[in-house]
């Protein structure tokens, strides 16, 4: 799987276009191969989460982006299974409301950054302010075009202050999106997930792809890298995200803190 992970990471030195990526690509892996590996990844992630909490001086932030029905909720369920819920904070970002509208667009995002010792998951994120806002013309280009730089500065600041950032773009095909929408309509248990506005948003598919391409070009950095995950196959999506998160946390080389005193002298009666 390691060679696949390298291919999923958006390179810093060349332009990446979603149109050139196959959302069905599983890089030679099969569903059967993935099941056992995924289970082992989840066990190891539980250990690393414990180390992160014990160390208590850094945090991990995973950003999940994707077009409607890309599988953000499913990824969170499948990848975070087995982690201690006390140390994981999931924040969904919807249309700003109330006090959020009376601050700059990054205010609510900064407030949701995980505490040291915790893993934070953003279900959508600050990138909505260069995606939805751009596609629907909610603010002029003179405003949203400056946000790429602002977002890079924001993420650099977080990185320099102990927050390890990993960004995942879950990429599905337009045909796969239609299939998932039909499933939501046909399965009464999933009806609640469907909204007529989903079909309206689908009309902007090409505009969203163009916006995502610019995000990958302008906001892919060494300190906050993007990974494009072929997400038509849910099992591959889950495995890839779990492994990238695992390898990132392994690379942090976390250490358990030293005890406050000499434990060898402690005796129990």
pLDDT per position as a tens digit, 28-58: 999 998 999 999 999 999 999 999 999 999 9
pLDDT per position as a tens digit, 155-176: 999 999 999 999 999 999 999 9
Question: Taking the CB of residue 85, how many other CB atoms lie within 10 A of it?
Answer: 8
> So what's the pLDDT on residue 3?
61
Backbone angles phi, psi at 197, to 5 degrees: -65, -20
Strands annotated E in the chain? 59-66, 88-92, 119-123, 163-171, 226-230
pLDDT per position as a tens digit, 235-258: 999 999 999 999 999 999 999 988
pTM: 0.95
Domain boundaries, the chain: 2-251
CATH code given to domain 2-251: 3.40.50.300
> So what's the pLDDT on residue 2?
62
Q: How many Å apart are CA 192 and CA 61, to the nearest integer? A: 29
pLDDT > 80? residue 97: yes
Q: How many Å apart are CA 131 and CA 210, to the nearest integer? A: 9
Q: How many Å apart are CA 68 and CA 212, to the nearest integer? A: 13
pLDDT > 70? residue 123: yes
Confidence of residue 192 (pLDDT cuts 50, 70, 90): confident
């Amino acid at each position: 799987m390691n060679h696949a992970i390298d291919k999923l990471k958006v390179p810093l030195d060349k332009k990446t276009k979603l149109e050139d990526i196959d959302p069905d690509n599983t890089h030679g892996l099969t569903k059967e191969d993935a099941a056992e590996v995924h289970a082992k990844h989840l066990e190891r992630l539980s250990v690393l989460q414990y180390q992160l909490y014990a160390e208590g001086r850094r945090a991990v932030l995973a950003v999940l982006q994707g077009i409607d029905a890309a599988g953000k909720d499913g990824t969170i369920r499948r990848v975070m299974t087995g982690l201690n819920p006390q140390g994981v904070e999931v924040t969904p970002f919807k249309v700003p409301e109330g006090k959020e509208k009376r601050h700059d667009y990054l205010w609510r995002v900064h407030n949701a950054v995980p505490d040291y010792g915790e893993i934070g998951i953003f279900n959508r994120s600050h990138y909505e302010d260069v995606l939805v806002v751009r596609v629907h013309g909610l603010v002029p280009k003179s405003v949203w075009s400056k946000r790429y730089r602002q977002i890079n500065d924001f993420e650099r600041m977080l990185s320099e202050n102990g927050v390890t950032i990993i960004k995942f773009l879950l990429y599905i095909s337009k045909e796969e999106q239609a299939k998932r929408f039909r499933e939501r309509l046909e399965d009464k248990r999933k009806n609640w997930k469907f909204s007529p506005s989903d079909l309206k948003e689908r009309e902007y598919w090409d505009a969203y792809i163009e916006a995502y391409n610019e995000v990958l070009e302008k906001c892919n950095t060494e300190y906050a890298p993007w990974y494009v995950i072929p997400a038509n196959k849910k099992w591959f999506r889950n495995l890839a995200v779990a492994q990238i998160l695992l390898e990132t946390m392994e690379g942090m080389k976390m250490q358990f803190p030293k005890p406050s005193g000499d434990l060898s002298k402690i005796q129990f009666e």
